[in-house]
Structure 1
């Protein structure tokens, strides 16, 4: 909303979202980090799939602003690539001591 750039908002946010989902899951589940990283990637892919099928309109929940923002409303192949980059960041870049 406040950032009007061509990279950070559209792509960086999607990469960071997968890292956020990973650490959210990690705070509740005691599962191997590689499985949690894959679960975070799966969550991102499921949300993107929901966008592809226009789930917000199908469920008629467009009036629930926070849910509409969480799910999003436009499918993008680039988002899937960003989710994969977030997964790779979790698996190979983030130091092991923070996992």
Structure 2
């Protein structure tokens, strides 16, 4: 474990953006797709804030986690856990499975790997 301030700052900024989207954006594109795109980047940055793990391994772990949460939505996990009346649970966990969300998660993780690789190449030059 090693604390990384840069990733932690990214985590806080992305979390603030996600909260603003959740509270104030009620459209058919930004909230459902950009929010999902950003959430995997947020989770990646959070993990990297505390763990010095390889980029691809961390990215794949976050993607598997996001896919798992999405599949749990298919099985109505919020209702199974008795949290259907909790607005926070419905927002955080989600309540509707959508294949488009899987695509947004995948695109977010691809963006992470691309940016991390570009940064690595800049540093090594």
Q: One fold, TM greater than 0.5?
A: yes
Question: C-alpha root-mean-square deviation of aligned residues, in Å?
Answer: 1.6
Query: Is residue 2:113 matched to residue 1:91?
Result: yes
Structure 1: any 5+ residue segments left out of the alignment?
A: none
1:65 matches 2:109 = no
When the two structures are aligned, how many residues end up with a matched partner?
A: 97
Deviation at 1:67, TM superposition (A): 2.5
Structure with a larger share of its residues in helix: 2
Q: Show the counterpart of 2:50.
A: 28
Runs ≥4 residues deviating over 6 A: none
Spell out, residue by residue over 1:11-66, the C-alpha distance to the aligned partner (whole angstroms, 9 max, x if none).
11100001001001111212111111111111110110110000111121223432
Structure 1 or 2, whichever has the larger Rg, is 2
Task: Measure the CA separation in 2 of the matches of 1:84 and 1:75.
Answer: 15
Greater Cα offset, 26-35 or 15-24? 26-35
Cα distance in 2 for residues equivalent to 1:79 and 1:88? 14
2:83 equivalent to 1:76: no
> Is residue 2:53 matched to residue 1:47?
no
Bigger RCO (CA 8 Å, 6+ sep): 1
With normalisation by structure 2, the TM-score equals: 0.70
Secondary structure of the corresponding residue to residue 9 of structure 1 = helix
TM-score when normalising by structure 1: 0.87
